[in-house]
Amino acid sequence: MAAPASGQGKTTVTAALARLHARQGRRVRVFKCGPDFLDPQIHALASGAPCENIDFRMCGEDDARWRLNRAAAEADLILVEGVMGLHDGAPNSAELARRLGLPILLVIDAAAMAGSFGAVAWGLKNYGEGANITHVLANRTGSKHHAELVQKTLPADIAWAGHLPRDAACALPERHLGLLPAGEIDDLDARIERMADALADTPAAELPPAVEFAVSPAPTFDAKLAGKTIAVARDAAFCFLYPANLECLAALGARLVFFSPLADAVMPDCDAVWLPGGYPELHGPSLAANRVMAAALTAHVEAGKPLVAECGGMMTCFESLHATDGSAHAMFGLLPGTVRMQKKLAGLGMLATELNEGRLSGHTFHYSTTETPLVPVAQAVKATGRGGEAIYRHRRLTASYMHFYFPANPIAAARLFLP
């Protein structure tokens, strides 16, 4: 599922297709290219199954191949949503599809075009090394007649998959980090159903031809975390969790329990804690009010127990968080320093870091900065060597703006959660 650029409606169409086929009784699995936490939440709801990530830089090509193969063993349809425009990035979605052996359904926003529609599709198919575009779907068409006009422009080697009409009631709301989390869109299910209805009588309702693609063997895991319980924060403030990370920890032998630093008065009995990313900046008053949780986390760290804090999770570990409106809120105070939100992007990109535990890959995406006297124990750097993120340590607390992808190095991930 690809497009000429971001904002063309890939997520909308992918979710609509997933729901359309799922409600026909088919087993649907959706994957998302890139280090995205938000689109996968939409697709999980639409398909009824977890949405995993594919990214050769962060996850690796073998990781993508075995996950696709596992899905193919049980699914009737696999949808892979691309990232940005079809030829944007390195490797871009066209190359990912080529290396994985996947055909491409191209989504084009047709709202402001007619005769150029086919030219765009032809150009994207034949640009550079070429792209295996087999079908195209027009998004945001103005009428049935408009859809017929753009359909007629397609070259003979690209099939028509149908169209979605322009419908403001189906638009997916956004904020500074992208789409709103699925749990915050009250009528999300109804929006997805409405979009699926619009595709019900189009060629997109039919299963595409089966394809063969290269596979890689599934990884094996040593039970390095056997007998260990990891408490994982999961609520509206801590909602950026890769399903693959949770699966990796479980495969390493860990018992996972979930808790809410926003609402819970008691932290679960555990050997280690994981504070993933999310939106602490939207929940400052609630986090500041939960001093019982702050005390429990402090006791956990001072007892020498491991705690991993990523991005939003790290933000809550400092003493205070200052919002863009000037308000300030006390955080958990596990680390000295202050976090300040800003309206411009502060960090974005793929990262890798060398820790004592081993090499880990991941990414960063945030709108805040930190002020702390702590000296970083390591740096997470981009492949270009320009820019990166500090990694801090206090006892067995590991904190960074970097979001780790645990399956890239399960042994190193396990070591983060061991005393």
Tell me the DSSP string of 337-363: -EEEE-SS--EEEEEEEEETTEEEEEE
Give the separation between CA 210 and CA 349, rounded to whole angstroms.
Answer: 34
Q: What is the enclosing helix (H) or strand (E) of 322?
A: strand 320-322
pLDDT for 239-289, tens place per residue? 999 999 999 999 999 999 999 999 998 999 999 999 999 999 999 999 999
- Closest Cα partner for 139 from 24, 34, 5? 5
Q: Tokens in use for 104?
A: 């491409």
Give the separation between CA 15 and CA 42, rounded to whole angstroms.
Answer: 7
Q: What is the enclosing helix (H) or strand (E) of 194?
A: helix 188-199
- Closest Cα partner for 395 from 377, 413, 370? 377
Query: Helix, strand, coil: what percent of the chain each, to 5?
Result: 30, 25, 45
> Is the previous residue joined to 40 through a cis bond, with omega within 30 degrees of 0?
no
DSSP secondary-structure letter at 402? P
Q: Provide the H-helix boundaries in 266-352.
A: 284-289, 291-302, 312-315
Within the chain, all domains assigned CATH 3.40.50.300 are found at 10-205
Cβ distance 310 to 351 under 8 Å? no
- What's phi and psi for 264, nearest 5 deg? -80, 140
Residue 272's alpha-carbon distances to 254, 296, 307, 402, in angstroms, are: 10, 12, 6, 19
CATH architecture of 10-205: 3-Layer(aba) Sandwich (3.40)
Q: Which residues of the chain have pLDDT under 70?
A: 168-171, 173-179
Cβ distance 118 to 155 under 8 Å? yes
- What's phi and psi for 392, nearest 5 deg? -110, 155
In DSSP terms, 139 is beta-bridged to: 109, 164
Q: What is the enclosing helix (H) or strand (E) of 40?
A: helix 39-47
Q: What per-residue confidence (pLDDT) applies to 183?
A: 72
pLDDT for 324-336, tens place per residue? 998 999 999 999 9
- Closest Cα partner for 180 from 18, 24, 14, 42? 42
Within the chain, all domains assigned CATH 3.40.50.880 are found at 229-416
Q: What per-residue confidence (pLDDT) applies to 361?
A: 95
Give the separation between CA 296 and CA 309, rounded to whole angstroms.
Answer: 15
311 is catalytic: yes
User: Which residues are CB-contacts of 178 (< 8 A; sequence separation ≥ 6)?
Assistant: 36, 38, 39
* Distance from chain centroid for Cα 56: 14
Q: What is the CATH number of domain 229-416?
A: 3.40.50.880
Residue 157's alpha-carbon distances to 4, 114, 122, 126, 153, in angstroms, are: 18, 19, 9, 11, 12
Give the separation between CA 31 and CA 43, rounded to whole angstroms.
Answer: 8
Give the separation between CA 419 and CA 300, rounded to whole angstroms.
Answer: 12
Q: Tokens in use for 276?
A: 């993933």
